[in-house]
Amino acid sequence: MTSTKVRLFIITYDITDDKRLRRVFEYLKQWGQHVQYSVFACALGPTSLATVKTELDALIHHDDDQVLFFDLGAEASRAQRAIDYLGVPFGPKQRKAIVL
């Protein structure tokens, strides 16, 4: 999805219940890249962002949980350069096959 309207968001969450935590994790896996515990990088257009916010809103408990959205800007421009790292490089995680 490449468009000037697509923006890169870092979405973080703090969910106090394990069942809701798993639901939020599984939901966000559909939309973006799992970066670290409770952190996703998602390239979203305006409609997708509204959908994600609406559906996450229904998954969380507003008195106990928190979801934060950090807008890094247009995906096609400086957003990809806005992420720096130490240690393991940032990028899609490679799956490793295990032969038993």
Task: Establish if 43 belongs to a structural domain.
Answer: yes
Over residues 59-88, the mean pLDDT reads 86
Bridge partner residues of 7 (DSSP)? 44, 74
Task: Say which CATH number the domain at 21 has.
Answer: 3.30.70.240
Q: What are the tens digits of pLDDT across the range 74-84?
A: 887 776 677 77
Whether the pLDDT of residue 4 is over 80: the answer is no
Over residues 44-66, the mean pLDDT reads 97
Task: Establish if 70 belongs to a structural domain.
Answer: yes
Q: How far apart are CA 75 and CA 85, in angstroms?
A: 18
Question: Which letter does DSSP use for residue 97 in this model?
Answer: -
Binding site as annotated, residues for Mg(2+): 14
Q: For residue 93, give the nearest of 54, 37, 52 by alpha carbon.
A: 37
Task: Establish if 69 belongs to a structural domain.
Answer: yes
Binding site as annotated, residues: 14
* Residue pair 25/92 in contact by the 8 Å Cβ criterion: no
